[in-house]
Structures are given as C-alpha cells and as structure tokens.
C-alpha cells in the first residue's frame, strides 16, 4: 500500500490530473449507458413487461448459458452505444451551429467536474484514522458541488436558444426558472447540517468528509427529516427528473430543449443527467444517511475493528476501502432506483404546480426548518463559560 502511495505521489501533477480525468470519464460514461438500460428494465418490471431482452451478437450466440445474459438485456447496452456513435447525425439548417454543438459539451463539464469533490469511501491509515477516498479533498466540498453543478443549466439554456425553435427555447427558459426556484430550498435545507458540524470553538468546515464523520452516531436524516425531504424533492427538480421534467415535457414541448438533437449529442445530455443523479444521490447519502457508515450508531471504524478481530487481512486499507465503497454505493444506487421508481409511478406536474411547490411550499418550509434548527443547535451547543 505504501509503495502504491509513493508511486502515485512521485507522478507529475499534470499526469495525475490526466489519470484522474480519464478515470472519471471511464466510470461516468458507462454508468450513464448502464442507467439507461436499468431504467428500461425497471419500467418494464413495474408495468409487467419483459423489457430489453432481444439483442445478441451472432459471434457469441453459441456460448452455453448466454441466453440468461441476453434476457437481462446486457447486449442492448452495446447496441445502444454503437448506435450513438455511428448513426447519422443530421443538423438542422436553421440552428446556430457553434453553440448548438457546444451545448452538450457544456452539459458534460459540470457533471464530470462535480464528481471529483464527492468522497465515495474511506480507509484506515497506519494511525487508525479514517482517510477519505476522493479525487479532490476540498474543505469547501459542498460549496463546490453547488457552485459547479448549478452551471449545468446553462447547457439546457444554450441548447434551447441555439436551436432557433420555439419549443426548445421554452424548454431552456423553464429549466432556468426551475433551477432558481429549487436551488434556494436545496441550499437552505443543508444549512442546519453545517450549523451542527461547525460547533462553537471548532475549525470551520464545509467538507463532506467532516459531515460523514459527524454522523458516527445518529444520522442527520433521523433528526433532521424535514431537511432531508426538502433536499430530496429539490434534487428531483434540479436533475429535471419526472415529475419535474419541465425542460422536456413531451406532452407540451415535443422534446423540449433537445428536440433538434440526435445521435451522440443527444446522448451526452442524458449521460449528464444520469451523472447528476449519481452525484446528487451520493451527496444526499453523505449529508443525511451516514455516508459509508453502515448503520446509525455503527460507524465504519467499529465495523473495521470487528472485522480485524476475525482476520488481520480484513483490516488492510484496501479491504476497508472496498467495504466503505460498497456501503456508500449501495445507498447511492438505492436512490438511483428511487429516481426511476418515481418516474414511472408519479405523473408529470403542470408548470404552475412546479412553481407553486417551489416558492409557496418548499421555500417557506426550508426557512422555518432553518430557523428551528438554528435555535435548537444554539441551545444544544451553547459554549460552557
């Protein structure tokens, strides 16, 4: 382990940045494709249909037992990827071509950047302290997530404007209004968490790792349930998922901001959407569900110590790191399923209902919740004179 750390530390910072960037791309792009397949299987399961189960490359059809993999629809992922890269990609003559091509790229940049500041696990170092597994361990982690992820709406606005068409333009305008409406509630919902983490006399921090460390006992979702609910509803709106997909709205906007898009440019928008879903789910888990701590009042360090009594090998940093990643990803993937579950069970809201929910319901709730916990935390964390 030390040799690996020394090898990595000896690499040039530019080379380290390139490797990290390729790792992010290598994870997020396949994840987006896998989510598209899983979403079709989940919707089929909920509606009593078999879902994707037909694709089978002829060169592996002879392999015994391959029918099971075919029924899972795994080969549809390969077919979809090939289609995205190689299908004809006509561009309408009336669009502003430079910005039309730029919009999907702008959408991917926040999705691939935000994931670098989200810790996805931890391991025990030689001193027995937890060290986060994260590409960029920032003290202002949550601020970086909010600042960068909110830039993703510019791709929707740019796509709608560059399409020079009324339906895409309306989709872009809706996306910007929805972002403003729910960003306020989302930000206010996490303030009680950081009020508690930044106790009087301590070092001020906005680190997501410190938030998880503060949940070695009770998870914040247990005693700040309204914050968790407001954040989760706002997360649905921020990711433009049903019932909040006002930027697309097939019933009234044809396809919304991406009406004029096809092939890989269309695919980039949805890789970005699934990436935001994963990042949002991960941030929710870190803020309210204990991160990589398996259960309330059962921190990862206690589990690692118990496993170390069974076998010293299980206390190795790699073993603990893999365990923490498994716990964290299990929670995050549950919320990915929740996104899909809600999409196929809750009908789309009207636009006026979305605005009313954001401004007249969630925002007052978030403000009242902040005031309540600010008073409660001030009383509980009152410095001893």
200 within 8 A of 383, measured Cβ to Cβ: yes
| Segments in the chain forming alpha helices (H) | 2-9, 13-46, 66-72, 74-86, 97-114, 141-149, 153-162, 166-197, 208-213, 220-223, 225-238, 250-253, 263-288, 300-310, 317-343, 351-356, 363-380
pLDDT given at position 261: 87
User: Average pLDDT, stretch 48-54?
Assistant: 89
User: Average pLDDT, stretch 207-230?
Assistant: 93
Is a pLDDT exceeding 90 seen at residue 212?
Answer: yes
Helix (H) or strand (E) holding 118: none
pLDDT given at position 230: 96
Distances (CA, A) of 346 to 165, 244, 245, 343: 29, 10, 12, 6
Is a pLDDT exceeding 90 seen at residue 284?
Answer: yes
Q: Is the pTM of this model over 0.85?
A: yes
User: Average pLDDT, stretch 134-149?
Assistant: 88
Is a pLDDT exceeding 90 seen at residue 260?
Answer: no
Confidence of residue 332 (pLDDT cuts 50, 70, 90): very high
Whether omega for the bond prior to residue 243 falls within 30 degrees of 0, making it cis, is yes
- Measured CA to CA, the distance from residue 347 to residue 248 in angstroms comes to 14
288 within 8 A of 221, measured Cβ to Cβ: yes
Lowest mean pLDDT among 95-99, 258-262, 291-295, 359-363: 258-262
pLDDT tens per residue, range 342-355: 998 988 888 889 99
pLDDT given at position 375: 92
Q: What whole-number percentage of the chain has pLDDT above 70?
A: 97
User: Average pLDDT, stretch 83-108?
Assistant: 86
- Phi, psi angle pair for 41, to nearest 5°: -70, -40
Positive or negative: CA dihedral 351, 355, 361, 366: positive
pLDDT given at position 232: 95
User: Average pLDDT, stretch 331-360?
Assistant: 92
The pLDDT mean for the chain works out to 87
pLDDT given at position 77: 86
- Measured CA to CA, the distance from residue 277 to residue 241 in angstroms comes to 9
Instruction: Work out the angle between the directed axes of helices 263-288 and 317-343 (0-180°, nearest 10).
Output: 110
DSSP letter at 122 equals E
pLDDT tens per residue, range 8-19: 677 778 887 788
């Amino acid at each position: 382990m030390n040799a690996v750390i020394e090898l990595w530390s000896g690499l040039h910072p530019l080379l380290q940045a390139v490797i990290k960037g390729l790792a992010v791309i290598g994870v997020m792009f396949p994840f987006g494709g896998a989510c598209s397949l899983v979403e079709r299987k989940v919707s089929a399961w909920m509606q009593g249909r078999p879902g994707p189960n037909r694709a089978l490359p002829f060169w592996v059809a002879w392999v015994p037992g391959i029918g099971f993999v075919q029924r899972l629809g795994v080969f549809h992922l390969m077919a979809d990827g090939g289609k995205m890269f190689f299908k004809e990609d006509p561009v309408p003559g009336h669009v502003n071509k430079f910005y039309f091509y730029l919009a999907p790229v702008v959408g991917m940049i926040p999705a691939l950047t935000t994931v670098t500041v989200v810790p996805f696990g931890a391991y025990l170092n030689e001193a027995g302290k937890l060290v986060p597994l994260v590409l960029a361990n920032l003290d202002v982690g949550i601020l970086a997530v909010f600042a960068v992820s909110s830039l993703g709406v510019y791709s929707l606005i740019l796509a709608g404007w560059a399409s020079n068409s009324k339906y895409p333009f309306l989709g872009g305008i809706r996306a910007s209004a929805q972002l403003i409406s729910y960003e306020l509630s989302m930000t206010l919902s996490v303030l009680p968490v950081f009020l508690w983490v930044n106790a009087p006399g301590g070092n001020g921090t906005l680190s997501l790792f410190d938030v998880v460390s503060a949940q070695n006992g009770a998870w914040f979702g247990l005693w700040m349930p309204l914050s968790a609910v407001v954040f989760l509803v706002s997360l649905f709106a921020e990711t433009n998922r049903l019932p909040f997909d006002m930027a697309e709205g097939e019933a009234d906007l044809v396809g919304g901001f991406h009406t004029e898009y096809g092939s890989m440019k269309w695919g980039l928008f949805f890789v970005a959407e699934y990436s935001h879903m994963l990042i949002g789910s991960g941030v929710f888990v870190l803020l309210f569900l204990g991160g990589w701590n398996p259960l309330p009042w059962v921190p990862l360090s206690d589990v690692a110590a118990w496993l170390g009594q069974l076998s010293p090998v299980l206390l190795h940093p790699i073993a603990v790191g893999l365990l923490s990643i498994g716990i964290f990803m299990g929670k995050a993937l549950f919320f990915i399923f929740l996104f899909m579950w809600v999409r196929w069970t809750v009908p789309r809201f009207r636009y006026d209902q979305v605005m009313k929910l954001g401004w007249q319901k969630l925002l007052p709730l978030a403000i009242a919740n902040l005031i309540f916990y600010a008073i409660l935390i001030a009383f509980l964390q009152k410095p001893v004179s």
